[in-house]
Copies of this chain bind each other. A is one copy, B any other.
Amino acid sequence: MGQIGGSLDAFIGAVHRRAATFDNEIELVCGVFSQSPEKSKATGKALYLPDNRVYESFEEMILREKELPEGERMDFVSIVTPNHMHFPPAKMALENGFHVICDKPMTLNLEEAKELVKVVEQTGLVFGLTHNYTGYPMIKEAREIVRSGKLGKIRKVVVEYPQGWLSKYEEGNNYKQAIWRTDPTKSGAAGCMGDIGTHAENLAEYVTGLKIDELCADLSTFVPGRLLDDDGNVLLRFEGGAKGVLHASQISNGEENALKIYVYGELGGLEWHQMEPNTLHYKSQEGHRLLRPAVGDLSAAAKAHGRMPSGHPEGFFEAFANIYRNFAFAVKAHMNGQQPDPLYDFPSVYDGVRGLAFIDTVLASSSSNEKWTKFIE
């Protein structure tokens, strides 16, 4: 794996590295960790990379690695830069024969996302997107319960993603995470809705298998001086008739990272909280069960995404690592000319397009007087 972005002072880059190497399927062999060559070198050194595998630009990395003999060169690139720097390296890597795994939202805008689909399809290479919350074992279980029909037809979906860390004007406090996320040139046209709203949208569609058909959004910017939305409330209508609510916020003061989803069908309901990820509530009018990793009769999918006996809590890194491991399995399968095992799934370039389309749709809806805005295709 060659990494693009993720210098020592970045947050998500280190998460990706830990996730990538967690299951001993992936090794970091090269990288360009920063636009600053000094920072990049320092990071490479701290990661025990040889100097000649730490590059000054992603273009250099892709071209130079390509020249290395197979088996020695990186097998894929991992892109962990701010959003505006996703598309260029992803496209170039794919076009030079490298598989790609990329942070979300996939690109700066929908146009890039659609072009990336074409590149992926043309090259036939493996593309993964780190909507990491889908990697939790209990989310796999939730999805399988819906698929099994145990809930009957889905009627209602509520997905919430409140955070509070941007309750103040943190972008004025020299706070790196805040600065780029609230800068339209780096983050894209949406703030909160792009950063975490897309996670909520992806999770809802992943668990239910339903696609949002139309929506009605009310986005807000509460903190004076902020350039992008920091809160949004959305009514959802899904294909097939289910209704729902999605709300996400970075000004919900006191909330940490409280992604939750509730799914209700004719016969039962599910509830899951990211901050207590090892419990899936499975309820019906007849009773309330707590489903837990490695307890009782879980689906093959849930079992395939846990590593521990019951009661040994796995968390954020492990779920993230599941995405990387499954991506690695797909890369291996590709190398061996095999089909990937659907048990080991991960978000795709098409999920990435949905995410960018979601952003465009909520923005369009929020500035419209029409009640319903069709989900942009």
Contacts and interface: CB of A to CB of B under 8 A. Distances in A.
A283 B312 contact: no
Interface string A308-350: 1111111111100000000000000000000000000000000
A72 interface: no
Interface string A238-258: 000001110101011111111
A284 interface: yes
A237 B220 CA distance: 11
Contacts of A218: 216, 235, 237, 243
Nearest to A256: B311
Contacts of A282: 254
Contacts of A371: 216, 368-371
Interface in A291-317: 291-292, 294-297, 307-317
Nearest to A46: B24
A156 interface: yes
Interface stretch (A15-23, A31-39, A351-359): A15-23
Contact of A254 (B244, B268, B314): B268
A257 B165 CA distance: 31
Given A160-B158, A247-B245, A312-B316, A268 B286 contact: no
A289 interface: yes
B244 A285 contact: no
A151 interface: yes
A155 interface: yes
A184 interface: no
Main secondary structure of the interface of A (DSSP, over half): loop
A22 B22 contact: yes
A180 interface: no
A156 B310 contact: no
A222 to B, nearest CB: 5
Interface in A253-286: 253-258, 262, 264-269, 274-278, 282-286
A227 interface: no
A46 to B, nearest CB: 8
Interface in A1-59: 11, 14-15, 17-18, 21-24, 47-48
Given A311-B275, A314-B316, A156 B286 contact: no
Residue of A151, A244, A275, A276 with most partner-chain B CB within 10 A: A275
A288 B290 contact: yes
A155 B231 contact: yes
A233 interface: yes
A161 to B, nearest CB: 10
Contacts of A155: 220, 222, 231, 251, 253
A314 B315 contact: yes
A163 interface: yes
Contacts of A274: 311, 313
21 contacts: A14-B307, A18-B22, A156-B222, A165-B310, A167-B285, A218-B237, A220-B243, A249-B264, A252-B264, A254-B268, A256-B292, A257-B309, A258-B311, A276-B276, A276-B313, A285-B296, A286-B295, A287-B295, A290-B290, A313-B315, A317-B318
Given A163-B311, A317-B317, 13 more contacts: A156-B251, A252-B269, A253-B264, A253-B284, A254-B282, A254-B288, A257-B312, A276-B276, A286-B295, A287-B289, A287-B295, A315-B318, A371-B371
What are the 5 A-B residue pairs with the smallest beta carbon separation, nearest first?
A: A254-B283, A256-B311, A257-B311, A313-B315, A254-B269
